[in-house]
Amino acid sequence: MSLHLEHLNPEQLAAVTLPDEHALILAGAGSGKTRVLTTRIAWLIKGGRTTPARLLAVTFTNKAAREMLTRITAMLPANPRGMWIGTFHGLCNRMLRAHHREAGLPAAFQILDSQDQLALVKRLAKSLNMDEERFAPRELSWFINANKEEGVRARDVSVTDENTRRMADFYAAYDEQCQREGVVDFPELLVRSYELLKRNEILREHYAQRFQHILVDEFQDTNRLQYRWLKLFGVSGARYFCVGDDDQSIYTFRGAHVGNMADFEREFKVGTVIRLEQNYRSHGNILDAANALIANNRNRLGKNLWTAAGKGEPVRVFEAESDTDEARWIVDEAQALVRDGTSLSQMAVLYRSNAQSRVLEHTLFSRGVSYRVYGGLRFFERAEIKHALAYLRLVAMPDDDNAFLRVANFPPRGIGARSIEQLQDAARQAGSSLLAAAAGSKAAAFRTLIETLRQETQGLPLKEVVEHVVARSGLIEHYKTEREGADRVSNLEELVNAAATFSDEEREVESGEAADPLTAFLTHAALEAGEHQAGEGADALQMMSVHSAKGLEFDAVFISGMEEGLFPHEQSVSERDGLEEERRLAYVAITRARQRLYLSHAQTRMLHGQTRYNVPSRFLEELPQSLLKWLTPRFSRQKAFAPDFSRQTRTTIPSRSTMNREVGGFRIGQNVVHAKFGSGVIIDAEGQGGDARVQVNFGSHGVKWLAVSMAKLQAA
């Protein structure tokens, strides 16, 4: 079987045929990294430089591992038996199975998935009388996993307060319970394997002698413990071949440490760093935009993508008046592309926050355009939305038993399965609904909550009804305790936006004139949650978050919501290196496009239940204007970054230097609230001390200069 080395470009060939030495391969987006990695493995084996049994290849997903094995097998005359290739968890599991006694595990130990782990945590917390309000089970699971992923055992947890001490004690009790039951969670696989090799010198030496070549895919996504685990195999001279792209490191929230790449280069005295910069995916203008954007990040290992495919189309930029207008424009453009011969399945709409999908979904649904939400659920199918709708259904119709069963104990309030069974029996005997039968039971407090919500929302506008019920249900507080609960909170806030924009026309069309607003809105939600999403394999527009888009590519890509506070996300500005990760996210989004790239932003957007007046993203300014084609009619190159107050909702794109300038405690681009004029965004500032003043766009109240010392401004 041929390795087809003649089809490799010079840099790929150099990487594949490197002599036995440590190497770092900086593989840019679309540069053929998987091809290089698999061909390298086949080259080592076929050339007699090593045997399959002396290779360890690590990647991050089972799908990637299977693809690697398939490609390697196709290049070799025989099946490469004995080679260890798989994910970190898969390889650690293999090692622990082989050495279960040394690891202190039963031969048939079982692995807990996330749901199994949560169930065990709940059971243990109940037996230890842990207060669920103070120590939510999901928070306890997150605490345990976060520490394990850093290689920190319960005894080594840094205790700074009483809450941390209680959680560390629970962590210890949890580990003891897992040991008694002969089970391990996913993080335990890695930490137990690391500890086994660390303390058992004989085993460590055995594997270090066995594995001559350690090959790592997606190295930028490794966490600190994974890197420490990999280093244990190097004590007897193994050679490391690490492939990754520091510009695509976007999983810090999962523990990924992009610094591992620079640490590897330094600690292993890596003499060869090969940059794979030729891109086989995107046209030149798209790559030039990506290169210009990511160049603003500091401490990069550095590379510059290029292509032989030509410059292609300019990057198109559209400014919408509102998020609704933005969605309409995206759908219009998608339909135009279909007429020109591009299939829907080769188009993707990317967004920074999952909550953005609702307006887009509504427009697609209204226009009859097939779509599919990739890697997630449609808006009205998401669990947090279904929970909120169940509360609203009980407010509208207290006899709705399905809604009662969904949220009577969510967030948890001590109403267990046995209590529900007893309540169902009582309701059956009385011929009543579950809520009516709840008086005098453990669910009495829940019944009181629903009755109170009904009273408090009588006569309120629809938006205020939804806002009040979501706030008083406890859902937001519950999700704030989750490790990745911010997205769920944003979705709940987007539900309030949906109610605020639910029109009388939609109400009459979907529910008839007689329906009250809440009932009409619930009907609307049920209709949009129906089977409108395209099935697997159907030609459909792909919708997804930027994180979900990693590793995918499309002929045409729309990146929506390019606004300060959204992309980059408002939280990133205050976090260490947060802005750089946001820029890497934007880089990943841009490099998903093969032929056409569209960037859009809206002057106004409903966020967190309020209309926001937006400054376009600083990332738009970081793109060379020569690459861009502005589609907004009144825009010209000269006016793109100049003030224009011909319309009251107009904002400008401040430069980075002005964006970061503070005057009197305020900065350009900041959302503020004024006692008289309401919400606005600062678009200019000047002066210092008592002479400082800011210019604020208050939307319908116009643009106003205000002296900071006199203005009653507050950060939004």
Give residue for tokens 């760093």: 273
Measured N-to-C along each axis, helices 462-473 and 486-501 cross at an angle, to the nearest 10 degrees, of: 160
Helix (H, G, I), strand (E, B) or coil at 102: helix
Q: What are phi and psi of 165, to 5 degrees?
A: -60, -45
Distances (CA, A) of 618 to 168, 290, 339, 652: 42, 14, 33, 11
In whole angstroms, what is the distance from residue 244 CA to residue 582 CA?
A: 18
77: number of Cβ within 10 Å? 9
In whole angstroms, what is the distance from residue 665 CA to residue 66 CA?
A: 54
In whole angstroms, what is the distance from residue 492 CA to residue 508 CA?
A: 25
In whole angstroms, what is the distance from residue 343 CA to residue 336 CA?
A: 11
**Is the alpha carbon torsion for 620, 625, 626, 632 positive or negative?**
positive
Give the residue among 268, 159, 210, 208 at the shortest CA–CA distance from 51: 210
614 near 602, Cβ under 8 Å? Answer: yes
In whole angstroms, what is the distance from residue 383 CA to residue 475 CA?
A: 11
Give residue for tokens 């099946």: 79
Known catalytic residues are: 33-34, 217-218, 248, 592
350: number of Cβ within 10 Å? 29
For residue 46, how many C-alpha atoms fall within 13 Å in the half-sphere facing its CB? 21
In whole angstroms, what is the distance from residue 576 CA to residue 520 CA?
A: 45
DSSP assignment letter at 691 = G
Q: Which helix (H) or strand (E) holds 10?
A: helix 10-16
Give residue for tokens 């809520």: 435
Instruction: Give 593's strand partners.
Output: 554
For residue 285, how many C-alpha atoms fall within 13 Å in the half-sphere facing its CB? 16
Say how far residue 401 (Cα) sits from the centre of its chain: 34
